[in-house]
Amino acid sequence: MIPQAEAIRRVCEDHAVLANEIAAVDDLTKPYLVNEGPLGDFCDSLHDLVAHVLMWDEISLAVLTDARNARTHWSLDQRWETSEAGLLLNQSGVAAGREVPTELLVHRYESVRAALLDELQSDGWNDDVKLELAQEHSVGSLAEYVMTVPNNPAFWHAAIHLGML
């Protein structure tokens, strides 16, 4: 399991990579090439990538918040742990994000990122999780599991899609 400080460092750097791209582009809805993830490419613009990473962060935050409250998040159910379900979530999240004005989408992304970092910085990284569906045994290992793009280093997401990792 990756130590808590390293996980936080990676998440902060990953956020900085995307924040720098956002700042460098005048219109996030213009065509923008991103690298495919393990489930394919469903992002046509930087706006799409922000929506995609935002959805991932919101699910990760909910998993960790639920675990802290001894609840198992829906996404840990085996019905959601399939490539087909993951692709559906990714495509739907991006499609929903296209309806949100860029300014509001970026505001939401920044707000969720701050909440996610607060959750990652909280005490209990090594505490056991006692969740029916969770295969991971500690808060840190659960965080690593839900915040790892398959077949990639843990706690990176935007940097992977931007080809910077």
Look up the CATH number of the domain holding residue 39: 1.20.120
Tell me the pLDDT tens digit for each residue of 16-62. Answer: 999 999 999 989 999 887 876 665 577 889 999 999 999 999 999 99
Mean pLDDT along residues 134-143: 82
**pLDDT given at position 137:** 79
CA atoms within 13 A of residue 40's CA, in its CB half-sphere: 11
Mean pLDDT along residues 109-137: 85
Q: pLDDT confidence of 94, banded at 50, 70, 90? A: very high
How many other C-beta atoms lie within 10 A of the C-beta of residue 127? 13
> What single string gives the DSSP state of each residue in 3-61?
-HHHHHHHHHHHHHHHHHHHHH-S-TTSB-----BTTB---SBHHHHHHHHHHHHHHHH
Say whether pTM exceeds 0.75: yes
Q: Range of 123's domain?
A: 4-161
**pLDDT given at position 146:** 93
Q: Are 105 and 97 in contact (CB under 8 A)?
A: yes
Mean pLDDT along residues 84-94: 90
Number of domains in the chain: 1
**pLDDT given at position 38:** 62
Can you name the residues that pair with 31 across neighbouring β-strands?
Answer: 45
120 φ, ψ (degrees, to nearest 5): -65, -30
**pLDDT given at position 104:** 96
Backbone dihedral region for residue 95 (phi beyond 0: left; psi -120 to 50: alpha; all else: beta) = alpha
Residues near 163 by beta carbon (within 8 Å), at least 6 away in sequence: 34, 35
Cα separation of 116 and 114, whole Å?
5
CB-count exposure of residue 93 (10 Å: 0-12, 13-18, 19+) = buried
